[in-house]
Structure 1
Amino acid sequence: MAAMSPPGIRAVLAGAGVAMMGEAKVVTAVLQLTKKPPSDVNLLYLGTATYDLASFRQKQTGAFADRGVSITTLDVACKTPAQAVVDDKIERADIILVSGGNTLFAVDRWRKAAMVEPLRRAMARGATLCGGSAGAGCWFDALHSDSMDPDWYRTIMLAGGGAAAEKAPGEASAAGEKREWDYIRVPGLGFLPGLLCPHHDRVQSNGVLRSTDFAGMLLRHPGETGLAIDHFAALVLYDGEYQVLSLPDKPGSLTSEGANEPGKGVPAVWIKSVAADGITIQETALPERGPLAALLHPARDIVEDSRVEVVRAANPSHDL
């Protein structure tokens, strides 16, 4: 189970990766947390969840490069680099940007590459953590994930198919085609407590609204507190506080009455838990600002999802 995060943690965690990491408001928020001029900032991009494909890297780092930020990569999706390379690149990073994509695969590869403790040290020293979708959820105990979607498997994407040839994470497939796969709870790094749901207000190619499926997941994992981030929202964490960053011209789930109605409101972040009756989901939209302790609650109990091993077998993380 995750311990409470260091009070000095700095992070910008968005509901979407490609759709958010190029937004000027998000880029500015990330750079402000470094407390350095952009020309002095070194951003380390971890594109493991999208198999280190150049197209995804450009989409998520281009706006930072345009501000004068130095971009470094650490590619581990296919080959395990030397430990000295891993340690050096992570140690020199002012920003660590994790791509969206297949979270289960990425976290498994990071463990194989002995990256977990170097990443934990980076968080502790104040490096800014950022990313959307997988790049937001990977830092938590676990997340509501589309890692079971075959379009996000390594062999398919490296061949130029699947998500590599389609839309960004959190967007339905072309022509409304419905595909047969389920969301699953996948383990993250455990640096932050909670079960995180990205793309909370979106329907993906399986035709299932993530908000609805997340409620069912919480009922199966009632010992965990849920955090749900709309596609066009983000959590900014700094100095023991949080701020909800929302793009006001984009759709979201929070109505003017405070209800959760995806597509009918503004982008928001929700905290969710199972009520004492065991069948009711309690959900509250986070205020714009507040103490970090209000949203990070260590789990009372963690139950792993047995389907994770099925996905690992279908999308293995061994070296190529």
Structure 2
Amino acid sequence: MDAPSAVSISESTAFRGTIVALGGGGFSVSETGESAIDDELVRMAARRIRGGAEDEAGAQSGFGASVGLPNVCFVPTASGDSRDYIERFEATFEARARTHVLSLFGQSPWDYQDPAMLLDMDLIYVGGGSTANLLSLWRRHGVDQRMREAAAGGTILAGISAGANCWFAASSTDSFGPLAPLNDGLGFLRGSACPHFHGEPGRKESFREWIAQGRLPGPGIAIDDHAAVVYVDGAATSVMVESAGAQAFVVDTGGRLHNLDEQGPVASVSQDG
């Protein structure tokens, strides 16, 4: 890795709210459905409904059972509303949250719902799949605007892979087959994103090259599987990791790589290995 240097991650003046971008991992790939990052997301949602206050019973349960369960909505657009994916989400979260699904395909038994439902959620969790398809359908149905409104109201936005890419101005995606730049993101977060940074062949090399060539805007955020970057009001504030060796990085406009933890604290929500 190149020698570190100061990298600015400027705060966006347009977006307000909390976004958690997962490079990979979570319940999507866990054989048991267990994920320390997902656990922390539920805790964040539970703290939201308590107004940020920790009470003794909530601290003991870990999920704020004393004041009710958080409303968590899964948005599986990128996978074409995969039934298996939705059922996996429900099995993972139903014991610790009130689960909801926003199905733009009208997938039975969830059926189509007005995206305005997102405004009533404590946590919105966007699944992986095709970033390009997600962006197209969200814009057609007005989901992008509802996401922005929900975040401004305090709802936590989170997502994995395509569900992480979508928040940025641009990203590295395999939506069209081979990895390619996509300069068509929502722009809630500036710069570009690359999930699965060390987990899939070609991700690291292509992302750094595209930013250096100006084909993707910098700075870039590169996130390993089992790592997540937390953003507050457009600025990266911390990194969560649930597996030994998982990291997140900044790629500057010259294509140079820097540990993101040089910019803020790393929270090891669980450490194995």
Q: Could you state the TM-score of these two structures normalised by the residue count of structure 2?
A: 0.75
Q: Please point out which of 239, 242, 252 is paired with 2:237.
A: 242
| Residue 40 of structure 2: aligned partner | 29
Q: Distance in 2 between matches of 1:243 and 1:23?
A: 22
Q: Distance in 2 between matches of 1:286 and 1:71?
A: 32
| Residue 20 of structure 2: aligned partner | 12
| Residue 290 of structure 1: aligned partner | 264
Q: Which amino acid aligns with 2:250?
A: I
Kindly indicate whether the alpha-carbon contact (under 8 Å) linking 1:83 and 1:114 is maintained by their aligned counterparts in 2.
Answer: no
Moved over 4 A (4+): 5-8, 238-241
Q: Distance in 2 between matches of 1:234 and 1:134?
A: 13
Q: CA deviation at 1:6?
A: 6.8
**Aligned pair 1:42/2:71, yes or no?**
yes
Q: CA deviation at 1:235?
A: 1.1
Distance change in 2, residues 1:5/1:211 (3 Å): farther
1:173-222 per-position Cα deviation (integer Å, ceiling 9, x unaligned): xxxxxxxx33332422111112000000022xxxx420011112212426
1:97-150 per-position Cα deviation (integer Å, ceiling 9, x unaligned): 10000011011001000122111111111101112101111111111111012x
| Residue 3 of structure 2: aligned partner | none
Q: CA deviation at 1:8?
A: 5.9
Q: Distance in 2 between matches of 1:97 and 1:5?
A: 24
Q: Distance in 2 between matches of 1:61 and 1:84?
A: 17
**Aligned pair 1:131/2:131, yes or no?**
no
Query: Which deviates further from its counterpart, 128-137 or 185-194?
Result: 185-194
Q: Distance in 2 between matches of 1:16 and 1:273?
A: 22
**Aligned pair 1:270/2:249, yes or no?**
yes
| Residue 198 of structure 1: aligned partner | 195
Kindly indicate whether the alpha-carbon contact (under 8 Å) linking 2:103 and 2:113 is maintained by their aligned counterparts in 1.
Answer: no
**Aligned pair 1:148/2:176, yes or no?**
yes
1:4-32 per-position Cα deviation (integer Å, ceiling 9, x unaligned): 16786223221115137944311221122
Kindly indicate whether the alpha-carbon contact (under 8 Å) linking 1:14 and 1:229 is maintained by their aligned counterparts in 2.
Answer: yes
Q: Could you state the TM-score of these two structures normalised by the residue count of structure 1?
A: 0.64
| Residue 120 of structure 2: aligned partner | 92
Q: CA deviation at 1:61?
A: 4.4
| Residue 221 of structure 2: aligned partner | 227
Q: CA deviation at 1:238?
A: 4.5
Distance change in 2, residues 1:6/1:65 (3 Å): farther
Q: CA deviation at 1:57?
A: 1.7
Kindly indicate whether the alpha-carbon contact (under 8 Å) linking 1:244 and 1:288 is maintained by their aligned counterparts in 2.
Answer: no
Distance change in 2, residues 1:10/1:83 (3 Å): same
Kindly indicate whether the alpha-carbon contact (under 8 Å) linking 1:45 and 1:72 is maintained by their aligned counterparts in 2.
Answer: yes
Q: Which amino acid aligns with 1:59?
A: R
Structure 1 residues not aligned, in runs of 5+: 150-180, 250-265, 276-280, 292-320
| Residue 58 of structure 2: aligned partner | none
Kindly indicate whether the alpha-carbon contact (under 8 Å) linking 1:142 and 1:186 is maintained by their aligned counterparts in 2.
Answer: yes
1:44-193 correspondence runs (5 A):
44-67=73-96, 69-77=97-105, 85-87=114-116, 89-149=117-177, 181-193=178-190
Q: Give the paired residue count.
A: 230
Structure 2 residues not aligned, in runs of 5+: 1-9, 50-63, 266-273
Kindly indicate whether the alpha-carbon contact (under 8 Å) linking 1:77 and 1:109 is maintained by their aligned counterparts in 2.
Answer: no
Kindly indicate whether the alpha-carbon contact (under 8 Å) linking 1:27 and 1:63 is maintained by their aligned counterparts in 2.
Answer: no
Q: Distance in 2 between matches of 1:220 and 1:22?
A: 39
Distance change in 2, residues 1:222/1:148 (3 Å): closer
Secondary structure of 1:62's counterpart equals helix
